[in-house]
Chain A
Amino acid sequence: MSATAFLLVTSLLKILGIVFVVILPMVSYSVYAERRVSALIQDRLGPNRVGPAGLFQPIADAMKFILKEDFTPAHVNKFYYWLAPCLAMVPAIMTIAVVPFGSTLFGVPMVIADINVGVLYVFAIASLGVYGIVIAGWSSNSKYPFLGGVRASSQMISYELSLGLAVIPIFLLVGQLRLTSIVRYQIENGWMIAPFLGDPTNVWKWLLTIPMFISFVVFTIAIFAETNRLPFDLPEAEQELAGGYHTEYSSMKFALFFLGEYAAMITGSAIIVTLFFGAWHLPLPWWDHPHGFHWLLIDGSLGGWRGILGGLFNIFVFFAKVAALLLIFIWVRWTLPRFRYDQLMRLGWVFFFEIALVNIFIAALIVAYMPK
């Protein structure tokens, strides 16, 4: 098999595997998790009837959505009305293409497209997601969706800035945009959220932890805003806007918005995990008698079945980290009330923008004086 054909086949397998085996089931089960966790937080039980502990609930929901009447109101702009749900779902899934979700498996790197603009691609595609919402709001041709769409676009502008600025300290440190290089750097020098892990005796690394942590907080909050999750869910705001941008949608078109939000959450978490939590990297403590205690790096580069197991372990670690972050997303949603609109704008423009900007200078100073 020629190299090109091999690349094509493996890429196709990776796309099919990651989208249909991992992401889509993860989307439906994060909806289930959302419902169960929110119920437990509010002292309820949540869906527990379909299957053991309600585990088949997503399947029942899917059946319901497919069987519902797909109603198109007469007053909408048909073309954009149909386009919007696709635009909500597609960017969320496309973003996952550059995320390294594992080391290697059978010698094939576990990333669909290892491109050198990495994070720029993520930002470019992820911000397309807002078009789904804006177009839905505009084409629905009624008040509440329109307000939702307007809110989504202004919210996106105010948070995209701090989202982009928050990750610059990482690139100052790594010197590359390629996500696999960032992961490699984190394996060698400690995770970005805690750079001191790489070398606890180095004072500079401890100092570097401060801007990195600020970066992490600003980036995570910006991702919350980017995915329209509470406390920043102003575009849909059930109580004020009666569902906001998806008020006029029903059946599977509504489901696409709904699932698109969760897919965006998953990609957002995947980006956070890749940038700050060492992606698929999880060293295991190991005690080897003559050499003493050391951390064991597991990846797919080992020979034989160990390599395969290692590769699978890395993929598992990556998605376990993503799932943990998703739980935090859910936990935050059912804790915090929604921001008022002026508060949101103030937070975006007056606080996060400045904090991210100052943070870049702090990180730059540390990186400049840090001995190599």
Chain B
Amino acid sequence: MAITVRRPNLSWSERAYLPAILSGMAITLRHLKNMLAGRTKVTMQYPEQKWDSYLPEHYRGAPALVKDERDRVRCVACQLCEFICPPRAIKIVPGEIPLGERFAKVEKYPEEFDIDMIRCIYCGMCEEVCPEQAIFLRKDYAITGLTRADMVHNKEKLIEIGGVMHGLVLKWNEQK
């Protein structure tokens, strides 16, 4: 069924265009005056002002490898994050910890740990799946590079971004 849209009954002044135009111009002039007087809140001026201090606790920025209080990279190269990663951004080469070191024959460690930041979608699955709480999404969001190779974060870069994480829940302690 066709619906007939009724035309609004315009008053004489509305049909004469000019009064409506003038009231429209008064509105834009008010916006202009408010801007000039600094009463309007405008966009943040990005490179000078940043959101960094306002970022919420749950912000998901670049994924990174963290160290514990004893300055040890927590990752044991179990590769769960590599398998769960939806865009397959993570590449891990696991290796044995060399004999003679304290944790030799105890755990594996990642010889290489690359995250391709072009592929990463910041979903946080890697953080969720990690049994060792070794990978966390930090608050870094301005990830830039001039080449594709620049955009791949290697192990050193990931550890640098990650820093030291204190007060981790050591979830296996109860089982020991």
- Contact surface of A with B, Cβ cutoff 8 Å: 37, 40-45, 217, 331-332, 334-336
Contact = CB atoms under 8 A, between A and B. Distances in A.
Contact of A37 (B32, B42, B43): B32
A332 B43 contact: no
Contacts of A332: 25
B29 A43 contact: no
Q: Which of B27, B28, B45 has most chain A Cβ within 10 Å? A: B28
Q: Which of A42, A43, A44, A45 has most chain B Cβ within 10 Å? A: A43
Contact of A334 (B18, B21, B28, B42): B28
B42 A41 contact: no
B21 A336 contact: yes
Interface string B54-88: 00000000000000000000000000000000000
B35 interface: yes
A43 B25 contact: no
A23 to B, nearest CB: 26
Contact of B31 (A43, A45, A217, A336): A43
Contacts of A331: 25, 28-29, 32
Given A41-B35, A335-B25, A335-B28, 14 more contacts: A40-B32, A41-B31, A41-B32, A43-B40, A45-B42, A45-B43, A217-B18, A331-B28, A331-B32, A332-B25, A334-B28, A335-B24, A335-B27, A336-B21
Interface of B: 18, 21, 24-25, 27-29, 31-32, 34-36, 40, 42-43, 45
Contact of B42 (A43, A217, A335, A336): A43
A332 B26 CA distance: 10
Contacts of B45: 45
Contacts of B27: 335
A120 B176 CA distance: 101
Contact of B35 (A40, A217, A336): A40
Contacts of A42: 31
B28 A43 contact: no
8 contacts: A40-B32, A41-B31, A43-B42, A44-B43, A45-B42, A331-B29, A332-B25, A335-B24
Contacts of A43: 31, 34-35, 40, 42
Nearest to B24: A335
Nearest to B27: A335
Contacts of A41: 28, 31-32, 35
Contacts of A335: 21, 24-25, 27-28
Contacts of B24: 335-336
A332 B43 CA distance: 25
A42 B21 CA distance: 17
A334 B27 CA distance: 11
B43 A40 contact: no
Contacts of B31: 40-43
B71 to A, nearest CB: 44
B82 to A, nearest CB: 42
A331 B18 CA distance: 15
Nearest to B21: A336
A26 to B, nearest CB: 21
B36 A40 contact: yes
Pairs of residues from A and B, 10 with the lowest C-beta to C-beta distance, nearest first:
A40-B35, A335-B28, A41-B28, A335-B24, A40-B32, A335-B25, A43-B40, A41-B32, A41-B31, A45-B42
A43 B34 CA distance: 9
Contacts of A334: 28
A103 to B, nearest CB: 33
Nearest to A351: B17
Contacts of B18: 217
A334 B31 CA distance: 11
B161 to A, nearest CB: 29
Nearest to B47: A49
Contacts of B35: 40-41, 43
Nearest to A40: B35
Nearest to A42: B31
Contacts of B34: 43
Q: Which of B18, B25, B34 has most chain A Cβ within 10 Å? A: B25
A43 B27 CA distance: 12
Q: Which of B32, B34, B42, B43 has most chain A Cβ within 10 Å? A: B32
Contacts of B40: 43
